[in-house]
Structure 1
């Protein structure tokens, strides 16, 4: 039974209705796509190597494909560009055999060399990929990402020379290979042993002050870091040459193209989820010719981009929609049933709901809390909403580089002064459960350690012990969130709880998605919201974020023992011992509290009854290539068990 929005939701403001009508009018005479859904905010980029958000995830998964892809129902890895693979007995070497008919959207073949190029680019420190650590399971990949700070005398290295600063961005400079002889500091003293390790780990020391002495075919040469502009304007010192960067020789990284259709990876240690990782969008290939012809970010423009997934872009209208159409060169095109899909850039969940209720869109992934209660009360008559638990945690980051968040007593007081039950039951209401750990419950063999539960008196005592009795002298703090009414409502509730329970002053600040991400990375915040969906079903996907200096550790926090435990878990082959190491690490994280977990998500998808191939799964991942429209039947809706 279909229920009309106006009869159900008299509380929805007329402005929201008008907004949805405005979206319909904005489409003008544009023919409708086969399938239209709300994708949230404008995507930051379509470059798989440099993004981390869910809006980007959904679009990139439509446009690109990795060696493996995930089953839409079980999320198990299935053949993607690779039609099959072999794994060595020691579980360290994976050999992938690529499809002969795998092609880019321009009709050219996808080859093993494309994957090597893309992985090298992903690991390149100049790319600044926030997810680069997801490739560090490959032998020496982490060392390659470390650049000049990671190499040591005796290593085979590649010296990348500078390029014309006025040329196309993304073109790599010429590479000279050799063996690193020594590294000298700015005074000409050799850095070696512990002194080199200490200097390399000190981010305040400028690597441009170091000289790298490399034995090359031309003899012993001296190189010093310089950016392209400086290299073009300034002559190097006598006896030296400029270099963009010095890296471990790529030939020493555990990946190689055996031939055009065979690629081999050698891992540091057995990694049970490696095949799943290869279906994760940051590890998708990009076409070298496209990237280096147009440069970054222009290569991702609709008129330039070349992709290898089930769809390709047709057009993009900012603050409106991106339309993709079936890629006629995709190897599995006969099983892709949708000919066109519209991704709508709508940040407001209220607007999204109205677009759904008025028939403008086929799928929304979020529903305003107040509407959700009404919708859930209409089940089973309403058959297009069925929340399910997800491998996802909502939490706040605390910037420990700023006072008073550098004091663990303050961080614990903030966590203990929150009423998570009020948040989940009164504000959210979709079945979300309060949580006191980062790793969600339900992963086999893992029982997450918990931070202390609500205790206002103890929170007040800790705050007083930290020097702020009854909140006196405590600076006004700010909660940062990305633009979304749900995040705003949560921030306002937490602000009220902290003010009432601790006597402190709190304000809130919202930013659009790209700016918000930048503020987090630059630690330009006091407290900031974060949600994390597991990239694979393992505690490590949550915990390895918070190693010291990790690309996604946007707190400024670090703990040497935590780092050791995460590193030890990465090489532990006994499953039970490995999970124990991760448990010990999370215990440290919850004790030091650089983050405050709030609740574990449930999915809030609303999908039209005639959409098939849509399944609830713990990562809330729904490949568009698996969807199809049942033109013969509007009801009943098998969404409660998955749309088959």
Structure 2
């Protein structure tokens, strides 16, 4: 999962309550706090309030990628499993059991999930296996454009082939005709035909690509497919040539019946994998695999289906209302299958981007949970009973755009990496126990030894840069570091700017707001870009397979066939020790070529009021709202404990 927020962002602190912790003042913090106090004052308070850090980009599970979105989606929807709030082990949710003896075939490839017959959507209709099958088809459909399709496409039989639009003669196929009721909406789909692919003609013609479309996709739009439909041969193309007996289609894909996702019964779902995957149940608790309501999506379309007045959910909470750049208020879903175990009635998720303002709101009692307090106050927070800190399964790193010179030269990349004093960044800027990173995989996973890149050595960096043809930086063009708006990201970029300037490199900084930053990095319109990643499941693969050639989360332009083969071998290796050795070899390759520059491993830091129950620190910084409750019976005593910091 993309780590969008800056953990422990260093910012100036306003004087009112903060002066007990740190003596600096900032006018912008005062203004921000006044705004939020005014906003809070116009509403009755929610039972539980937390700072979500920013305005969510979307609430569509197939579209979201970041932590702020994930927190809300997990509250609104529920998949087969949910994480234990302490151990992160998969707990049964829509599925009745996680016992492999009951759900997994002897060869380790086929899961058969029994579903809860009493679970219903917030509109009262039952949640069924067909809801999962349809939702996963939507996630995998190429027109959906999900960045997280690989959660299924990398593991489920034929899912990658469906997503990529790959078909071969002899394949059963599905053809969508251009008869949609709303042309720009994928669902409901146009008239569907089904048949057997007989032949593919690949005309050598140029065409006009749509935005973001690859040359290969542009070429495929001209391909002509001969399909046997109901005993008759018919020819289809997305861009048929004029004056020929060829029918236009919107999509021609592998028949989804060939994908290893089957609704055997209204309450029995079968998933067939390409090979045994020991962490598959962890994937099934990831928010992109939750079911979504088909009738809601087909009635309203995207993005209207996620509006508070339209959205239909199956999770513990519903949206009461949403104020852009302010908050999302959640209310308990009375129809949730386990509603009796949900204590909270209302929850506010605030879109407060300033950690200074968020901290003041926490200390003023307006917020019950404040993730990532500013690093300046961390030394004063340590030892307080409302301060929670833990090593995290997450990493902060920089991407190099290897399609641009000079980053196409691994010597330049290695020189820049070895010139960065990570120890100084952790101790002088972050100051919350973060560890310098020289590997992609954080050191919190048992049974795995990470492969490390060479450490900080300024003289070695100078020699490498000279070897690349840029002695003392001469002849090297100016470099731009891109980051999303945050004081913390800026301070880190400034530190790296200083380190690289010692090599004689001219460095410029550029910040963008979150959504523009995501779009810019996705289009690879950058030199060097800040990034972060929170592991989606406790396995090295969640970090390494990001960088397979052409991977949707790669966003560096880097590729290595040996690396790809090792990642593929690891997915098919059933012996745990051998598998870890294979992944170590893959990490050796990427750390040797350094298309990404690890900087530090995150530490999750949270301020949580002592009267909050059910909040546990864990390596993925996941805190399900279903487990949280509020008990203010001892609030006065608790506040005395807080003020004693």
After TM superposition, the score normalised by the length of structure 1 is 0.92
Specify the alignment match of 2:592 in structure 1: 591
- In structure 2, relative to structure 1, the CA distance for the partners of 1:317 and 1:390 (3 Å cut) is same
Structure 1 stretch 472-481 or stretch 582-591: which is displaced more? 472-481
> Which of 348, 369, 373 is equivalent to 2:375?
369
**Aligned partners of 1:236 and 1:242 also within 8 Å:** no
Specify the alignment match of 1:211 in structure 2: 224
The answer to whether 1:356 aligns with 2:357 is no
The answer to whether 1:154 aligns with 2:170 is yes
Specify the alignment match of 2:579 in structure 1: 578
> Which of 68, 81, 88 is equivalent to 1:55?
68
Which digits, 9 at most, give the CA deviation of each residue in 1:398-439, with x for residues without a partner?
Answer: 111111111111100110000000000111111111010000
**Aligned partners of 1:168 and 1:295 also within 8 Å:** no
Cα distance, 1:134 vs. partner? 0.8
**Aligned partners of 2:391 and 2:444 also within 8 Å:** no
Secondary structure (helix, strand or coil) at the match of 1:114 reads: helix
- In structure 2, relative to structure 1, the CA distance for the partners of 1:12 and 1:101 (3 Å cut) is farther
Specify the alignment match of 1:319 in structure 2: 325
Structure 1 stretch 170-179 or stretch 536-545: which is displaced more? 170-179
The answer to whether 1:44 aligns with 2:92 is no
**Aligned partners of 2:180 and 2:190 also within 8 Å:** no
**Aligned partners of 2:420 and 2:500 also within 8 Å:** yes
Give ranges in structure 1 of 5+ residues lacking alignment.
189-199, 227-233
Q: Give the Cα separation in 2 of the matches to 1:480 and 1:134.
A: 28
**Aligned partners of 1:463 and 1:471 also within 8 Å:** yes
Specify the alignment match of 1:186 in structure 2: 203
Cα distance, 1:166 vs. partner? 4.6
**Aligned partners of 2:17 and 2:360 also within 8 Å:** no
Specify the alignment match of 2:6 in structure 1: none
Cα distance, 1:28 vs. partner? 3.5
> Which of 79, 83, 104 is equivalent to 2:121?
104
Specify the alignment match of 1:420 in structure 2: 422
Cα distance, 1:467 vs. partner? 2.0
Cα distance, 1:559 vs. partner? 0.8
The answer to whether 1:338 aligns with 2:338 is no
Q: Give the Cα separation in 2 of the matches to 1:31 and 1:235.
A: 62
Specify the alignment match of 2:305 in structure 1: 299
RMSD, aligned α-carbons: 2.0
**Aligned partners of 1:349 and 1:484 also within 8 Å:** no
**Aligned partners of 1:69 and 1:79 also within 8 Å:** yes
The answer to whether 1:522 aligns with 2:538 is no
Q: Give the Cα separation in 2 of the matches to 1:244 and 1:67.
A: 32
> Which of 112, 123, 138 is equivalent to 2:156?
138
Specify the alignment match of 1:230 in structure 2: none
Cα distance, 1:235 vs. partner? 8.3
Secondary structure (helix, strand or coil) at the match of 1:154 reads: coil
Secondary structure (helix, strand or coil) at the match of 1:213 reads: strand
Specify the alignment match of 2:209 in structure 1: none
**Aligned partners of 1:134 and 1:277 also within 8 Å:** yes
Specify the alignment match of 2:10 in structure 1: none
Specify the alignment match of 2:131 in structure 1: 114
Q: Give the Cα separation in 2 of the matches to 1:8 and 1:437.
A: 35
Structure 1 stretch 59-68 or stretch 439-448: which is displaced more? 439-448
Q: Give the Cα separation in 2 of the matches to 1:454 and 1:584.
A: 22
Specify the alignment match of 2:272 in structure 1: 266
Secondary structure (helix, strand or coil) at the match of 1:431 reads: coil
Cα distance, 1:86 vs. partner? 1.7
Q: Give the Cα separation in 2 of the matches to 1:146 and 1:125.
A: 7
Cα distance, 1:515 vs. partner? 0.9
Q: Give the Cα separation in 1 of the matches to 2:122 and 2:535.
A: 30
Specify the alignment match of 1:538 in structure 2: 539
**Aligned partners of 2:181 and 2:190 also within 8 Å:** no
Specify the alignment match of 1:471 in structure 2: 473
> Which of 260, 267, 277 is equivalent to 2:283?
277
The answer to whether 1:169 aligns with 2:185 is yes
Which digits, 9 at most, give the CA deviation of each residue in 1:477-505, with x for residues without a partner?
Answer: 11111112111111111111111x21111
Secondary structure (helix, strand or coil) at the match of 1:94 reads: strand
Aligned residues: 612
| Aligned counterparts, 1:433-512, within 5 A | 433-499=435-501, 501-512=502-513
Specify the alignment match of 2:388 in structure 1: 386
Which digits, 9 at most, give the CA deviation of each residue in 1:245-295, with x for residues without a partner?
Answer: 111111111111111111111111111111111110011110011111111
**Aligned partners of 2:143 and 2:186 also within 8 Å:** no
Secondary structure (helix, strand or coil) at the match of 2:388 reads: coil
Secondary structure (helix, strand or coil) at the match of 1:550 reads: coil
Q: Give the Cα separation in 1 of the matches to 2:470 and 2:295.
A: 59
Specify the alignment match of 1:126 in structure 2: 143
Specify the alignment match of 2:11 in structure 1: none
The answer to whether 1:34 aligns with 2:47 is yes
The answer to whether 1:25 aligns with 2:7 is no
